[in-house]
Amino acid sequence: MPVNHYDYNDNTQLSPHFNVREFRCSCGKSHETLLASELVDKLEALYTTLNCSKIIVTSGYRCPEHDKAVGGTSSGQHTKGTAADVCCYGQDGQPISSKTVCCKAQDLGFTGIANITSSYQYTHLDVRTSGKWYGDEVHGNGTVTEDFYKYFGIPKTEAKNILKGIDVSYCQKGIDWEAAKASGLVDFVIFQAGYGREYDQVDVQFERNYSECKRLGIPCGAYWFSYAMSADEAKREAQVFLQTIKGKLFEYPVYMDLELAKQFALGKAACSEMADAFLSTMEQAGYYAGLYCSTYYLDKYLSNSVKSRYTIWCAQYASKCTYQNSYGIWQYNVAGSTEHDIIGQKSIPGIVGECDMDYCYTDYPSIIKAAGLNGFTKATQPTEPEPTPTPEPDTEESTLQQILKHVANIDEKLMK
C-alpha cells in the first residue's frame, strides 16, 4: 500500500474534501506526515456516500511518541499513516451518528472501524492490511462484531433516498415532459447539451428540453459528448460547453461523456489527462463537474486521482452496479427495450422509444445551491460559528482545521 511522506508545512489538496494539513500529528513538533493514499480515497468515498457537509479529521497521523502519550501502543495504525479518527456532519450541520458511519464504512471496505465514544459521535477508520477489526471502544478495544448493521440493529436499506432519473438527447424527439413528470418515474433529468469542440454542435433538443424542465420544475443537469483526442482538445470542448450553457441553472452536475473506443485506445494516462483538462475547466468556471463513463473503462482507463477528484456518473447495464469506488449516479438500463428495468418499467410515459435510466444517491441540488455553483447564487453563510463537538484528547489542535472542503477548493480556483 503506497504511503506518502509530506513535510510539516505541506498544504497539498489531496482530494476534493481533504488537505494534507488535516492529518498532521498534534504533538506540536514540526515533523513529516505519513499518509496512505487509499485512506484518503476511502474517506472521500465516505463523504459522498453519507452526503456530508464536512468531515473533521480529529486525529490523523501520529508520531510514535504522541501515539503512546494519548493511550496508543506507539506502533498502531495512526503511526503508519493508515488511520484517521473523524466526525462526520450531515447537510443539516449536525454530527452523523457513529453507528451510521460504521455501517457505511463497512460497505466501503475500511478494514479497521470502531466507534470511539459513548456519545457515538467519533469514529476510528483505517485501511490496515493485517486483517479486519470492527470494534466499539465503549466496550473495549477487542473485536466485537463481523457486521455493524446487526451489531447496532440498523436495517440495511440500500434503496433508501434513491432518486429515479433519465438522460436524453436528440434521439428522443418531442418529449411530452408533462406526461413524463406525471409518471412519477422522473425525479431528475440529465440531457445532452452538445458534442465535440465546434460551436455549431449543440444538441438540437437541448434548448427545448432545458426550457420544459425549468417550466415544470424538473431538476436537471447536462452532459457534453466528447470526441477529444488530447488534453488541449478536451479543454476546447469544455469551453464550448460553457458557452452553450451560459446563463442557465442546473441542479445536477455538468458532465464530460467519455465513451469512444478510439479515446481509450490512447491509454490510461491520456484519458486521465483529457478528463482532468475538461473537468477542471468546468470547475474553474464555477460548475460542479463530473465524469460519465462505464464501469469497465473507469476501472481500466482513469486514474484514481481523477476518479476521487470529480463526481462519477457510472454506466453499467446490470441488476447491480459493481463499481467499487464512489459514484453519485448509476445509469442502469434502457427504457423502451423489450426487457423490464430494475423497477419493472419498460417505458417512460411521454417518450417514444428508448431512453437511458438512472438512479441517483447524492443530494446534488442541496450541495450545488448551497455552494453557489452551476449558475446559482451562493447561500449566505451564518454569522455565528457552527457548534463544534467536545474534543477528544487528541483533537484540540485538529478541530481548528475545519474547512468546507469542496466549496473552499472551488472558491480558491475562482479567485485565481
User: What CATH number has the domain bearing residue 37?
Assistant: 3.30.1380.10
pLDDT score of 336: 76
Q: Are residues 176 and 321 in the same domain?
A: yes
| CA 298 to chain centroid | 14
pLDDT score of 157: 55
Asked whether residue 368 is assigned to any structural domain, the reply reads: no
pLDDT score of 347: 83
Q: Are residues 167 and 153 in the same domain?
A: no
Asked whether residue 340 is assigned to any structural domain, the reply reads: yes
- The DSSP result for 333-357, as a single string, is EEETSSS--TTS----TT--S-EEE
Q: Are residues 193 and 331 in the same domain?
A: yes
pLDDT score of 343: 66
Asked whether residue 69 is assigned to any structural domain, the reply reads: yes
Asked whether residue 370 is assigned to any structural domain, the reply reads: no
Q: How far is CA 383 from CA 198, 233, 386, 399, in A?
A: 45, 44, 9, 19
Q: Are residues 143 and 167 in the same domain?
A: no
- Yes or no: say if 112 and 83 are a contact pair by the CB < 8 Å rule: yes
CA quadruple 350, 352, 357, 363: dihedral sign = negative
Q: Euclidean distance between the first and final Cα of the chain, in Å?
A: 35
Q: Are residues 333 and 191 in the same domain?
A: yes
pLDDT score of 179: 95
Strand blocks (E) in 1-117? 3-6, 13-15, 18-19, 33-36, 54-59, 83-89, 112-115
Sole residue written with cell 435510466: 357
Number of domains in the chain: 2
Asked whether residue 369 is assigned to any structural domain, the reply reads: no
| CA 305 to chain centroid | 12
Q: Are residues 250 and 399 in the same domain?
A: no
**Whole-structure pTM over 0.75, yes or no?**
no
Regions in the chain scoring below 50 on pLDDT: 158-160, 380-407, 410-411, 413-416
Cα–Cα distance between 246 and 193 in angstroms, integer? 11
Asked whether residue 375 is assigned to any structural domain, the reply reads: no
Q: Are residues 335 and 233 in the same domain?
A: yes
pLDDT score of 312: 94
Q: Are residues 356 and 396 in the same domain?
A: no
Q: How far is CA 216 from CA 187, 205, 213, 347, 389, in A?
A: 12, 17, 5, 20, 42
Q: Are residues 326 and 205 in the same domain?
A: yes
Asked whether residue 367 is assigned to any structural domain, the reply reads: no
Cα–Cα distance between 354 and 334 in angstroms, integer? 6
Q: Which domain holds residue 257?
A: 163-362
What cell was used for 207?
434548448
Q: Are residues 139 and 234 in the same domain?
A: no
Q: Are residues 69 and 178 in the same domain?
A: no
pLDDT score of 142: 74
Write the CATH number for 262.
3.20.20.80
Q: Are residues 396 and 330 in the same domain?
A: no
Asked whether residue 373 is assigned to any structural domain, the reply reads: no
